[in-house]
Protein backbone atom coordinates (compact mmCIF):
# COMPACT_ATOMS: atom_id res chain seq x y z
CA UNK A 1 0.00 0.00 0.00
CA UNK A 2 1.37 3.38 -0.95
CA UNK A 3 1.66 6.18 1.60
CA UNK A 4 -0.92 8.37 -0.05
CA UNK A 5 -3.50 5.57 0.15
CA UNK A 6 -3.36 5.54 3.95
CA UNK A 7 -6.14 7.74 5.31
CA UNK A 8 -4.67 10.67 7.27
CA UNK A 9 -6.49 12.39 10.14
CA UNK A 10 -7.55 15.92 9.22
CA UNK A 11 -5.50 18.89 10.41
CA UNK A 12 -8.37 19.95 12.66
CA UNK A 13 -8.36 16.57 14.42
CA UNK A 14 -4.56 16.66 14.80
CA UNK A 15 -4.63 20.16 16.34
CA UNK A 16 -7.44 19.05 18.65
CA UNK A 17 -5.29 16.12 19.79
CA UNK A 18 -2.25 18.38 20.35
CA UNK A 19 -4.32 20.90 22.33
CA UNK A 20 -5.64 18.08 24.51
CA UNK A 21 -2.12 16.75 25.16
CA UNK A 22 -0.88 20.27 26.05
CA UNK A 23 -3.80 20.72 28.47
CA UNK A 24 -2.90 17.46 30.22
CA UNK A 25 0.79 18.49 30.33
CA UNK A 26 0.02 21.94 31.83
CA UNK A 27 -2.14 20.36 34.53
CA UNK A 28 0.95 18.66 35.95
CA UNK A 29 2.67 22.01 36.81
CA UNK A 30 6.16 21.00 35.70
CA UNK A 31 8.77 23.37 37.15
CA UNK A 32 11.62 24.85 35.13
CA UNK A 33 14.08 22.51 36.86
CA UNK A 34 11.94 19.50 35.94
CA UNK A 35 11.63 20.74 32.36
CA UNK A 36 15.42 21.01 32.19
CA UNK A 37 15.85 17.50 33.55
CA UNK A 38 13.33 16.11 31.06
CA UNK A 39 15.16 17.90 28.21
CA UNK A 40 18.57 16.59 29.35
CA UNK A 41 17.17 13.05 29.69
CA UNK A 42 15.64 13.21 26.20
CA UNK A 43 18.92 14.50 24.71
CA UNK A 44 20.88 11.79 26.51
CA UNK A 45 18.61 9.06 25.14
CA UNK A 46 18.91 10.44 21.60
CA UNK A 47 22.71 10.80 21.76
CA UNK A 48 23.10 7.34 23.27
CA UNK A 49 20.91 5.89 20.53
CA UNK A 50 22.88 7.62 17.78
CA UNK A 51 26.38 6.83 19.05
CA UNK A 52 26.35 3.74 21.27
CA UNK A 53 23.34 1.52 20.75
CA UNK A 54 23.74 -1.90 19.16
CA UNK A 55 20.19 -2.03 17.81
CA UNK A 56 20.93 -2.99 14.23
CA UNK A 57 18.52 -0.63 12.45
CA UNK A 58 19.72 2.42 14.39
CA UNK A 59 23.40 1.40 14.32
CA UNK A 60 23.43 0.89 10.57
CA UNK A 61 21.56 4.11 9.85
CA UNK A 62 24.12 6.23 11.77
CA UNK A 63 27.17 4.12 10.84
CA UNK A 64 28.57 6.62 8.33
CA UNK A 65 28.07 9.48 10.78
CA UNK A 66 30.00 7.63 13.50
CA UNK A 67 32.94 7.05 11.16
CA UNK A 68 32.80 10.58 9.77
CA UNK A 69 33.07 12.02 13.27
CA UNK A 70 36.00 9.71 13.98
CA UNK A 71 35.50 9.68 17.73
CA UNK A 72 33.54 6.47 18.23
CA UNK A 73 35.08 3.34 16.71
CA UNK A 74 32.49 0.63 16.20
CA UNK A 75 34.72 -2.05 14.66
ZN1 LIG B 1 31.92 1.11 11.54
Quote the ligand 1 centre to 42 CA distance (angstroms).
Answer: 25
> Can you give the pLDDT at residue 4?
64
Quote the ligand 1 centre to 64 CA distance (angstroms).
Answer: 7
| pLDDT (tens digit per residue) in 57-75 | 988 898 888 889 887 777 7
Helix ranges, 1-75 (H):
11-27, 32-51, 56-61, 63-69
* Contact by Cβ (8 Å): 74, 63: yes
C-alpha–C-alpha distance, residues 59 and 49, integer Å: 8
Q: Which residues surround ligand 1, an ion (CB under 5 A)?
A: 74-75
Which residues, including other chains, have CB under 8 Å from residue 68's CB and lie 6 or more apart? none
| Domain spans in the chain, listed from the N-terminal domain onward | 3-69
Tell me: pLDDT of 1 over 70: no
Quote the ligand 1 centre to 70 CA distance (angstroms).
Answer: 10
| pLDDT (tens digit per residue) in 30-58 | 889 999 999 999 999 999 988 888 888 98
Quote the ligand 1 centre to 6 CA distance (angstroms).
Answer: 36
* Contact by Cβ (8 Å): 30, 38: yes
pTM: 0.56
Amino acid sequence: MRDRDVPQPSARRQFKYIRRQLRIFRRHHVSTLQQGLILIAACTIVLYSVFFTNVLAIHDFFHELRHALGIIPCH
